[in-house]
Structure 1
Amino acid sequence: MARQGRTHAQPRRTSNQRRLAAAVAGLKGTVQFDAPLKDYTSFRIGGPADVLVEPADIDDVVCLVRQTRAQKLPLFVVGGTNLLIRDKGIRGVVVSLGRLRAIKEEPGAVLYAEGGVGMPTLIGYAIRHSLAGLEWAAGIPGTVAGCVVMNAGTRLGEMKDSVKAVRLVNMQGEIVDLPVSEIPFAYRRATLPPGIVVGVWLQLKAGVRAEIEKVVKDYLHYRRDTQPLTLPSAGCVFKNPPKDSAGRVIDSAGLKGAQVGDAQVSDKHANFIVNRGQASAKDVLALIRKVRAAVTRKTGVKLELELKVVGQA
């Protein structure tokens, strides 16, 4: 008798697909293959990840790091605001810490926040508990982890002013706690060992709730008046030149409103590029080149990117 063939044969997995599946096997969190990343960036721009993982907890992060390392796959964390993902996305494993959202108060006006806590959520918690020290971050939409990695800041202060210690899962899958004295901070950058920031201790101070709320509200009003907060953006695109403002230099070169596709230099603040609807990473990068060239030609200033660009073109 002839053998009956399989009528619903599954396509054979490639070697890379098998490695990706092994890297995420057994995780408690959510796993999506070929996942679009635009909803995980403040720019609302970005191609797909080979696989996107939202770990359920820190143990999940440890497991994911170890399995990804065993499969020799690249690992990338999304979560900051100053990020542009190119249109063909990111190869390997992409991690969002959105489910790591615990906050707890410790003695001595210290808050511990897991890496996926949004800064607006953390500021709200601090206000309710009459803790001062995070007012500088009013209006920053990124996560705690992202703000540490990029040493996020405003004219009122920056992340290094608040950090007491950082909890990291290193690339061997070990949990390491680093005091702030072991973390070199610079302008919009923290030099950390390779790994994933999963928690941060913040040294705050007891304050008066009404006074803290007033500072936050006043600064939010200032940001709304001076920055394009109603359109998707990645915050400031360029670092400020020495003793000057990138926004002022770009404005002086006549570039407010300059546009490539749906990417536009903001009319409100020239150091912001906004997504007017369907902007691609290609549009943004073309506009960045246009701004840089014009500023250098007209003012002699060479602008340095604050924006982090990742992924495949």
Structure 2
Amino acid sequence: MNRAGSRRRTKHAGTKFRKTDILAAVAGIRGAVRFDAPLDSYTSFKIGGPADVVVEPADVEDIRRLVTQARARGVPLFVVGGTNLLIRDRGIRGIVVHLGKLRAIREEPGEILYADGGAGMPTLIGYAVRRALAGLEWAAGIPGTVAGCVVMNAGTRLGEMKDALKAVRLVTASGVVRDIPASAIPFEYRRARLPKGIVVGVWLQLRKGIKKDIERVVKEYLHYRRDTQPLTLPSAGCVFKNPINDSAGRLIETLKLKGLRVGDAEVSTRHGNFIVNRGHARAADVVALIGKVRRAIKRQAGVRLDLELRIVGEAGR
């Protein structure tokens, strides 16, 4: 366990807990524990200030311990793993949880796959394709984790997570492992209304298919995404929700906002609903650019664009 810097006092103002609370919250954790850890490498945007501590639990029991101890000490937990995330420049106070060590996938009877929450969606799709299991083709090209895709009900024009979800395994806010059937989860556009807790695994109901047909659909959609989205630059996917009966990307392109920049944050020239990091963009640059786009759309088209992107953490000064 990496406890470098564990004796240093918390240097961020405004925290409601002490460094001793954090130390108590992570005591006995068998996974990796990193203090004052930068978060840019944990997001698809490659942007983000430091966390007081990043924990990669070894297993579900580690997560139960962490949740219980953090709750007892009043230390907040935040899970990273989705792609629609922007972390502000001063980072996140408390404990950031990354499920990188929970990546197991197994096949169960009845064309069901169980996947740990930290399994990557590309890995899961590859596993399904090799077994000629159809039902996840819609997720081709989504880089997030299984847990992140459940929480945000990730989707594309071909489908979304709720279409394949059978059940979710959750460690609740009180540290209890609970299995929740998908039928008991209210889903919305890019959101699953789950109880507070950490998604540690999912069951997906797939169907037997023909391997070459599944591969063809996956490849076709990957080609479509490569042709229409800026996949070679860091981004967080679509920034805005589509207005009713319209497309945020179409509005942005129509008003000639593609290529608009603040610092190294740029409205993609390939897809108007993406903001890309051209190299050294700060979260403040992205937020400022979002504001410029929203104001222009509201002023010129009379449409308010709501965020699909989730912005968390403390702003820089």
Name the TM-score, length of structure 1 as normaliser: 0.96
Equivalence for 1:309: 311
The equivalent residue for 2:269 is 267
Quote the residue 1:119 is aligned against: 121
Q: CA deviation at 1:13?
A: 5.2
1:144 pairs with one of 128, 143, 146: 146
The residue that corresponds to 1:36 in the other structure is 38
Q: What pairs up with 1:50-199 in 2 under 5 angstroms?
A: 50-199=52-201
Q: SS at 1:31's partner residue?
A: strand
Residue 211 of structure 1: which of 213, 222, 244 is its match?
213
CA displacement at 1:241 relative to structure 2: 0.3
Cα 1:11–1:129 change in 2 (3 A) is closer
Q: Which residues of structure 2 form unaligned runs of 5+?
A: 1-5, 11-16
- 1:6 is aligned to none
Q: Secondary structure at the match of 2:18?
A: helix
Cα separation, 2, equivalents of 1:107 and 1:170: 27
C-alpha separation between the residues in 2 aligned to 1:253 and 1:114? Answer: 43
The equivalent of 2:291 in structure 1 is: 289
Q: Following superposition, which runs of at least 4 residues in structure 1 exceed 6 angstroms of deviation? A: none
CA distance in 2, matches of 1:151, 1:244: 20
Cα RMSD for the two superposed structures: 1.1
Q: What SS is found at the alignment partner of 1:52?
A: strand
Structure 2 distance, partners of 1:130, 1:63, is 38
Q: Deviations over 1:115-146 (max 9, x none)?
A: 00000000000001110000000000000000
Match for 1:264: what amino acid? E
Unaligned ranges ≥5, structure 1:
1-9
- CA gap of 1:225–1:24, structure 2 versus 1, over 3 A, is same
Q: Could you say which residue in structure 1 is the equivalent of 2:48? A: 46
**What letter is aligned with 1:71?**
R
Instruction: Please give the secondary structure, in 2, of the residue aligned with 1:241.
Output: coil
- The one-letter code matched in structure 2 to 1:155 is R
Residue matched to 2:282 = 280
Q: Which amino acid in 1 is paired with 2:191? A: R
The structure with the larger Rg is 1
1:16: Cα distance to partner? 1.1
Residue type of the alignment partner of 2:141: G
Whole-Å separation in 2 of the counterparts to 1:13 and 1:141: 36
In the TM superposition, residue 11 of structure 1 has moved relative to its aligned partner by 6.8
The amino acid of 1:60's aligned partner reads D
1:223-260 alpha-carbon deviations (Å, 9 max, x no partner):
00000000000000000000111100111111000000
Cα distance between partner residues in 2 of 1:12 and 1:216: 49
**Quick one: distance in 1 between partners of 2:93 and 2:25?**
13
CA distance in 2, matches of 1:11, 1:184: 43
Percent identity of equivalent pairs:
71
